Chains A and B, each alone.
Chain A
Amino acid sequence: MNEETKFILKKLVFYAFIFTVVAWIVIPIIISTLYGFALPKDYYDPKKILPTSFTIKYVKTLLITLGALDGIKNSIIVALITIAISFALGIPAGYAVAKFIFPGKDTIKLSIVALRMFPIPVMAIPLVILYIRLHLIDTLLGVALAHTAMSLPFVVLITSSIFAGVSKELEEAAMVFGLTRLGSFFKITLPLALPGLAAAAMFTFVMSWNEVFVASILTLAHRTLPAQILSIMAGASGGAAPDYYKFAAAFIMILPAITFIFFARKYLVTMWGITLK
């Protein structure tokens, strides 16, 4: 075997590897989406690997009759409240960690890293008793407050790394020209950090959008989308929904997430790198 064929062979093996990897990730998504719109007769036909006739009936039934539309609305409200509170609390903390030196800083950073690992979702179980007392049970605010606890450590870590990336020279220049520290934060640091913060907001949104344990435990009538899907698909009766509703549900759930990753893909590896390192 001469050098050239060896080179071509190597390249071929490499692309076969890449193709397998991409197929492994993408095929299940394509298949479940196709099945979500397939007619049951195609799905149950053992000869038909891929469906050929399609309908929006099941997605529509799920959205309207089974109330997934309300679930989507609730999920969006919960996610927006979560972003609002966790940013209001997390941005000052992230800024302090990035721009100040103070005694006890390492301990605080370490506690935030540790708190991120704490199973806060599971802690919704004992939270129920307090929520009943405070009339927060079965409210969207209640879910959002718990989701904030879950996402806040991540928001602090992400924002501190974003603020650390804004050059101090610009802030100092602004302060030389007469802006206060607060003024330079709002006029210089915040605008420069905005794209990163937008990505962090999307990260928080997806985290809340996908969370199912807290939402299922704290609500009954006002369910978010995943909690509602879970109760339809895997209720006490044990997977009562017919298969084609399951695929329609998967489609509804992943659509916003995939859209997000498309827009935020530039920040993605860095952001997850920060939060999960």
Chain B
Amino acid sequence: MKVKSSYIPYFLILPAFAYLLFFVGYPLVQALYTAFTQNGHFSLATVRKTFTDPYFWDALKYTISLAGVIVPTQVALAIILALGVNRVFKGKDFTIYALTIPLTISDVAAGLIWYSMLSPSGFLNKLLLNIGLINNPIYFFGYQYRHMEFLAIVLAELWRATSIVFVIILAGLQMISHEYLEAAEVFGADYWTRLRKIVIPLLKPSIQSALIIRTLFAMQIFGIVWILAGRDIPILAGEGFYRLTELKEYDVASIYALVIAGLSIILGALYIKFMKAEYLEVRG
């Protein structure tokens, strides 16, 4: 039923497209206006105020370094998990089910869940104390333990968002034809050779898109950090949130929104350059 009609598809797409355009376009314009004007005149005062605030640079640093630690680890972990699970074994369905549970768990809930593991009276500390591995609890929270808070965020975020990467990689793995692998086996390639010469190269598109998608979402990281560390570990979205809700500084908050949008647009441009929307092809 592929019909070449002139106006029907545009008519069907227009409402959704207009809606999205408004919700992306309007805030962008409004943010630019709020950030770069004062009393109706062009002004760089807000930009100067934001850029001279050490919190801004800390937030930028932590947002990027969190993404830098979390995203590659997630992708590596997800590849190992997907390769491990992508075979026939007893309990496969349950394992995949368990691995996908965090997909539906919010960042706020994941933060609270990991607080129960890592707090001074939490599971991990009590376990280690009782089997005698440590004599005093390990402190993960509080300003003086910032580097441990960083670790706690990484642990919680690995737990929460590795599932998404796992699903992308697993879907990619399942699309690799068995014939390639069987042919390689016939010619005497062992598991590692097959992995290196066939599986990993064919997985490359999935790995790339997982990397970029996770990096983009990592720019907006908020809930998990806000729950586990508050402003001890400043992040871009968190600072924007704080400026807006606590200090009512719409102008400074707008700059944070613009910085996150700018980072996303740059990364998104890379995404479009490397990826194509092949999976949307009309089938049949």
Q: State the A residues within 8 Å of B (CB).
A: 14, 17-18, 21-22, 24-29, 31-32, 35, 43-44, 46-49, 89-90, 92-93, 95-102, 105-106, 108-115, 117-130, 145-146, 148-149, 152-153, 156-157, 160-161, 164-165, 167-168, 171-172, 175, 206, 209-213, 216-217, 226, 229-230, 233-234, 236, 238-239, 243, 246-247, 249-250, 253-254, 257-258, 260-262, 265, 268-270, 272-274, 276-277
Contact = CB atoms under 8 A, between A and B. Distances in A.
B95 A165 contact: no
A28 B116 contact: yes
Contact of A226 (B106, B210, B267): B106
Interface residues of B, number: 102
Nearest to B19: A89
B148 interface: no
Contact of A127 (B5, B6, B26, B284): B26
Contacts of B108: 210, 212, 226, 229-230, 233, 253
Contacts of A89: 15-16, 19
B19 to A, nearest CB: 6
Contact of B13 (A96, A153, A217, A246): A96
A128 B250 contact: yes
A32 B112 contact: yes
Interface stretch (B27-35, B45-53, B180-188): B27-35
Most chain A CB atoms below 10 A, which of B9, B97, B105, B170: B9
Contacts of B260: 119, 122
Contacts of B24: 115, 118, 120, 123, 149
A234 B64 CA distance: 23
A145 B282 CA distance: 30
Given A96-B12, A110-B277, A210 B106 contact: yes
A254 B105 contact: yes
Contacts of B109: 210, 226, 249-250, 253-254, 257
A146 B23 contact: yes
Nearest to B213: A276
Given A93-B15, A119-B220, A213-B237, A276 B168 contact: yes
B44 interface: no
B280 interface: yes
Nearest to A249: B112
A262 B206 CA distance: 26
Given A46-B121, A269-B167, 8 more contacts: A35-B123, A99-B2, A106-B277, A123-B24, A127-B23, A230-B108, A258-B104, A276-B168
Contacts of A246: 112, 115-116
Contacts of B16: 89-90, 92-93, 152, 156
A126 B32 CA distance: 9
Task: Sort A-B residue pairs by CB-CB distance and give the 10 closest, nearest first.
Answer: A210-B106, A149-B23, A257-B104, A273-B171, A250-B112, A96-B12, A123-B27, A126-B31, A32-B116, A100-B9
B132 interface: no
Nearest to B214: A276
A244 to B, nearest CB: 10
Contacts of B105: 210, 253-254, 257-258
Contacts of B245: 216-217
Contact of A230 (B8, B99, B223): B223
Interface string B57-91: 00000000000000000000000010011000101
B121 A268 contact: no
B113 A102 contact: no
B254 A17 contact: no
